[in-house]
Amino acid sequence: MRARARLCPLDAAVTKIIVTHHPFDLPDGYEDKEIVGRARIAMEMFASYGADLLLAGHLHVSHTGNTAARYKISGHSALVVEAGTATSTHGRGESNAFNVIHISHPHVSIERFTWQPEQGTFVVSTTEPYQHSSGGWSRVSSRDFPGPVGFKE
C-alpha cells in the first residue's frame, strides 16, 4: 500500500497526515452509519503506520476529535479534523468555514475560520492547540503552548 511505503520510513518526529473524504469520527448528533465503511480495519492500518492526523470533509461540518475514544487501539491515537463548507450555499447548520492547521511536531493547532457576512470576510472563530505525547493527543492551553507565532487560543 502506498500509505505504508510513504509513512513508515518517516522519523517519529514527523507529523504523519492522512487525507480522506469520509470521516473516521463524528460530531455530536451524527449516527455511526456516517463513518466510512471498514473504518476499524483502516484505523488499525493507519495506527501501524503511525498516522497522527486524519483530515476529512464529507459531512461539511467542522469537527475536531481524537480516535482513541472510538477505536481504542493500544498505543495509538490520532487527531481527526473535519472541514466545514467553505464556499457552498448549501449550509449544514453552521456558517461557512475552513481550517488552517499549524504543525510544529509534537504540536498541532487548528484554526477555524468562519464567514462573517456583516464584515464580508472569514475570521478566526476558534483555535484548538494540541500536543502529542506517549499517551496520545491532548488539548493544551495556548498559554502553555510552546508553538510558533500564530498558535493562539
* Structure-block grid coordinates of residue 94: 453552521
What's residue 147's pLDDT? 53
As averages over each run of 10 residues, the pLDDT of the chain (153 residues) reads 86 91 84 84 91 89 88 89 85 85 92 94 94 85 60 45
User: What one-character-per-residue DSSP string does 58-108 give?
Assistant: TT-S-EEEEHHHHH--TT---EEEE---SS-SS--SS--EEEEEEEETTEE
Domains of the chain are 2-144 (3.30.750)
Where do the H-state alpha helices sit in the chain?
Answer: 2-7, 39-49, 67-71
What's residue 151's pLDDT? 46
pTM: 0.85
What's residue 57's pLDDT? 85
